[in-house]
Structure 1
């Protein structure tokens, strides 16, 4: 259950005094705040609520000059406590703070009409009506409005009941790897560096390894506290203090982010999905509030998806997938949008480029499958973990589960959706059909050309694995670096068939000393170019084999020679001279013959002799 409450409201509308009435804790901790009677930075407290237990409260400043700090406090809030002074009713910062709350994943809102003891019944009713009118057009319509007086305590009990009910109505804490935006960092003597902030997702335990970004720092959780009390585990939805070991204190500051390794990232460019409340031009300079950090950058829009924005930053920031954010104009710094990070390490894109695949926090299994489906080249476990906001082990587990369900396939480290392989197979078949039709006398085609024609960008080991799977499925035949449709045979016209028969006849007439192409051309009274074309066609059709340069033989003759070797030598070894004598040929032809038989693994050379090890047909 979420247990993080945050105040909001106009300056001097009684936020800090109301927190003290609720908790007994003065959230103004800075001397300047006490001297000026104004909240400047975030204040923290906790309150015991009926049926809930201890809940965290973040007090934010109301003055417009400190809006950045208000945003920091609001970014982790589950239930907002909007304070409206009864006598003043709705004021400018009331509206601005409400707008920010609406842009963030704040689930519930309670309105406290503060200083109710100083307003008569008519004034209270007017304030109620104006607040309800303000909320009517928002998702907070119908939110409880509770008159309360901090000095007298009137309404405090009713306000606690309303807050407890709101917390009960919030959804379960977000699952997944944990992360914590750091809003305070200080050294605890004898312990180490302490970082505090709202735990936004998952759970962290004492002893866990920690990644701190930006800077790619590593540490370990030495101990955990909630409001000064030690605990072994902290869960999302609470203010949490982590004592870290193994890291230099001077390298940690407010605005960084701590989290499970592999799920928080240092980035200068990320994609986010936002809700716009004001116009923003492509490439505009903006202020980006992310966790407790505000960084300057530029907003680049997308022609295909107006709610998608790419933020390119002037300095690195740490972030996590699905982390909430607020955008403001650079000057004047008015709020223009709010949303969540979708791709922490986004590839650069132009205005009209297709959006990069991202994930949906509501359904992680479908999101991982969607990531795989978006790229037929495949994604590694690390890439899935990065874009899905999962730990490496969680991403690997999700992929294995998808594989067991037949929805994903591992292609030598590159994971793709099963339907992608099916679609790729269909594209390859279609490409081969077109290529065979365009060149019927060519038995196979280079796989690079086939993949290009099919619109596929496969490379390396994943290419080999995918083609092997398609071959097993009977979609294609893989012939070294070439591909063809299963069972495809070269198509010849009558003239080509007649010419090839003449060339094969000439080769078969002298198996022991096969004629070269030029000798065939002379004997058959054919142009050399025609003989070479016929031989090439015979090679493609699998009717002719190439023994050596200008030395060819028909497949039928090859089989006869293999049979003769088996009959003559059986299992015993034989020398080159014995083979020469068997064929009745010269060394000029015998040696290329033997080297060819070694290449096709019909014979095995052992020293100066050879043995038969198996028949190989080059069909």
Structure 2
């Protein structure tokens, strides 16, 4: 199954919503105000069923200039655009602005739909097509197929559907590798379920139950349930429209423009180095440090533009490297597309792509411009590094294909640079990826140890499951098994920080020590462990953890469900019994030597069997000499 997102674009009242309804059988104008005014205000979404091999989401964007923010948010993550032009009006101002925005966002695939053809004759259709073809000349839509439709009478709809299939066929779904990222464009609540967010997945995959992070707030949340167009799913991937029921956050804490990401893999920024291309004609000059409004993903953030080789931008259709300094943090990465607009008087200034999401303060002058241009045109090494950062681990063959470099050249580059590491499996990663993963695991372990100080460590399987959506399982397992990794210690199925040792919470440390002291003094005839914990007024929620801790650390030996004997008297009794009996001994002999009643003796001897120190033969027991001597030593 391939997953695609198609965006509708075009001037207001050119029939986008009606066409969406005919294609999907869904009215995307759901708000009362939209129905009363008969215009789209918010983004509308609907599933478009074309064939069994495609899962398509259709986004209907508002056409009014007042709602340009919604339009940009809607088309920012699409795979294909349908430019809608009404036959009786032709190309209009918002048609042109939408085309500018699509071009600047790097949209490369589209088709053109002429609606309302019932209002024009054949001769007018030819004139409209000529007008459109002239308007899209030199753009990505120049060679795009054009369809004439009457949405109300459903004329031309089947041809349009076939055209969409043809445009999408053979086109790969968006790459779902890398860390999950979903820019949020809708947030609401559902009674009995809580907070729901929606958006188009830009990167990676998300699974039901995953722990995610809400940025820029840095709030940890859980993906309790997932839906794709109202259908429950266990996972969502890049290219899909996904609704996520998030736990751990309220609706009031989220807004459109926030980003839901794989926990620990993205940072926020307020200074971005960019490559900017302006629209073909600027109505007003752009002053140095002038106020701008950045649209990136679904975010809309105010800031200022900083030039390094001029004090103003006068001409249109100009390419320039510059910097955006924002009033609020955003989530972005190298290569992300953006649009900037003037806040007042409003107009689209231009758009481009992010060179460096973590820009610094630079000096004004040509040196800075040259450095930014060098960063913009990445070297093969930089491209390899970026791709490995995204993929985390990749074969040389796949890497060669992705960056258009021969395997021989690539192997030479990898061998020359210490920053790249070839794993035993033959796949390639980088020192930075490994160090980042180690740091993430270390941070998770520190949080786990702080929450559960009594436990030996975190389950290895739980760590692998946490990182598997973003990091390949083999890479996580390899990190955990690295003998040179001094910060982590593996204890069988558990992993711990090398700095951690299981211990009671400081507040209860003295009372826990008192419990152990009392049990030790009781010898073999002990009181139920839970009674001792209760007598010391240790909180009940700690009891189970403490019982596990006592036994795991071998402070106590558990002889039945309630009774546990301190290690010292237990070891002393076993040694005494071994020294005073032959290879085989009876229950009576054991009773005489230990002085225990049947209540304590039977579970005591059964514990010896469980430890592998003795073997029961009918009513007698036989010592396993090698095992008991090793145990006593």
Q: 1:356, 1:402 → 2: CA distance? A: 27
Once the two structures are TM-superposed, the CA of residue 281 in structure 1 deviates from its matched residue by 3.5
Structure-2 residue corresponding to 1:283: 289
Write out aligned runs for 1:262-411 (5 A).
262-277=264-279, 278=282, 280-303=286-309, 307-352=320-365, 353-354=367-368, 355=371, 366-367=382-383, 369=385, 390=390, 405-409=415-419
Q: 1:410, 1:200 → 2: CA distance? A: 27
Structure-1 residue corresponding to 2:153: 152
Q: Does 1:167 align with 2:172?
A: no
**Deviation by residue 1:443-498 (Cα, 9 ceiling, x = unmatched):** xxxxxxxxxxxxxxxxxxxxxxxxxxxxxxxxxxxxxxxxxxxxxxxxxxxxxxxx
Q: Does 1:96 align with 2:106?
A: no
Q: 2:431, 2:204 → 1: CA distance? A: 26
Aligned length: 395
In 2, are the aligned partners of 1:83 and 1:113 still within 8 Å (CA)? yes
Q: 2:348, 2:226 → 1: CA distance? A: 35
Structure-2 residue corresponding to 1:186: 188
**Deviation by residue 1:300-329 (Cα, 9 ceiling, x = unmatched):** 124399532211112233334433211112
Q: 2:224, 2:215 → 1: CA distance? A: 18
- What SS is found at the alignment partner of 1:247? coil
Q: 1:360 to 1:146 in 2, by over 3 A?
A: same
Write out aligned runs for 1:115-130 (5 A).
115-130=116-131
Q: 2:303, 2:202 → 1: CA distance? A: 24
- What SS is found at the alignment partner of 1:13? coil
With the length of structure 2 as denominator, give the TM-score of the two structures.
0.57
Q: 2:307, 2:343 → 1: CA distance? A: 16
Picking from 224, 248, 268, the partner of 2:226 is 224
Structure-2 residue corresponding to 1:42: 43
Q: 1:302, 1:170 → 2: CA distance? A: 40
Structure-1 residue corresponding to 2:254: 252
- What SS is found at the alignment partner of 2:222? strand
**Deviation by residue 1:212-271 (Cα, 9 ceiling, x = unmatched):** 111112122222211011112212112111222233443122110111234432222122
Q: 1:160, 1:301 → 2: CA distance? A: 46
Q: 1:53, 1:207 → 2: CA distance? A: 26
Structure-2 residue corresponding to 1:18: 19
- What SS is found at the alignment partner of 1:348? coil
In 2, are the aligned partners of 1:257 and 1:264 still within 8 Å (CA)? no
**Deviation by residue 1:168-204 (Cα, 9 ceiling, x = unmatched):** 2545413422211100112233433211111112222
Once the two structures are TM-superposed, the CA of residue 88 in structure 1 deviates from its matched residue by 1.0
Q: 1:80, 1:99 → 2: CA distance? A: 13
Once the two structures are TM-superposed, the CA of residue 155 in structure 1 deviates from its matched residue by 0.6
Structure 2 residues not aligned, in runs of 5+: 311-317, 400-410, 422-429, 433-633
Structure-1 residue corresponding to 2:547: none
- What SS is found at the alignment partner of 2:78? coil
Once the two structures are TM-superposed, the CA of residue 18 in structure 1 deviates from its matched residue by 0.5
Q: 2:377, 2:248 → 1: CA distance? A: 32
In 1, are the aligned partners of 2:321 and 2:372 still within 8 Å (CA)? no
Q: 1:92 to 1:169 in 2, by over 3 A?
A: farther
Q: 1:159 to 1:48 in 2, by over 3 A?
A: same
Q: 2:108, 2:249 → 1: CA distance? A: 36
Larger Rg: 1
Q: 2:420, 2:99 → 1: CA distance? A: 47
**Deviation by residue 1:8-55 (Cα, 9 ceiling, x = unmatched):** 111110000010111110010110000011111111111111364331
Q: 2:144, 2:374 → 1: CA distance? A: 33
Q: 1:57 to 1:108 in 2, by over 3 A?
A: same
**Deviation by residue 1:538-580 (Cα, 9 ceiling, x = unmatched):** xxxxxxxxxxxxxxxxxxxxxxxxxxxxxxxxxxxxxxxxxxx
**Deviation by residue 1:127-165 (Cα, 9 ceiling, x = unmatched):** 111111112211221111100011100011111111122
Structure-1 residue corresponding to 2:132: 131
In 2, are the aligned partners of 1:300 and 1:351 still within 8 Å (CA)? no
Q: Does 1:196 align with 2:207?
A: no
What's the RMSD between the two structures over aligned residues?
A: 3.2
In 1, are the aligned partners of 2:173 and 2:239 still within 8 Å (CA)? no
Write out aligned runs for 1:423-434 (5 A).
none
Once the two structures are TM-superposed, the CA of residue 77 in structure 1 deviates from its matched residue by 1.5
Q: 1:51, 1:161 → 2: CA distance? A: 14
Structure-2 residue corresponding to 1:57: 58
Once the two structures are TM-superposed, the CA of residue 366 in structure 1 deviates from its matched residue by 4.1
- What SS is found at the alignment partner of 2:286? coil
Structure-1 residue corresponding to 2:620: none
- What SS is found at the alignment partner of 1:408? coil
Q: 1:91, 1:99 → 2: CA distance? A: 13
Once the two structures are TM-superposed, the CA of residue 104 in structure 1 deviates from its matched residue by 1.1
Q: 1:235 to 1:67 in 2, by over 3 A?
A: same
In 2, are the aligned partners of 1:182 and 1:254 still within 8 Å (CA)? yes
- What SS is found at the alignment partner of 1:21? helix
In 2, are the aligned partners of 1:288 and 1:295 still within 8 Å (CA)? yes
Structure 1 residues not aligned, in runs of 5+: 372-383, 417-619
Q: 1:191 to 1:342 in 2, by over 3 A?
A: farther
Write out aligned runs for 1:487-526 (5 A).
none
Once the two structures are TM-superposed, the CA of residue 360 in structure 1 deviates from its matched residue by 7.7
Structure-1 residue corresponding to 2:586: none
- What SS is found at the alignment partner of 2:162? helix
Structure-2 residue corresponding to 1:375: none
Q: 2:79, 2:174 → 1: CA distance? A: 10
Q: 1:201, 1:404 → 2: CA distance? A: 26
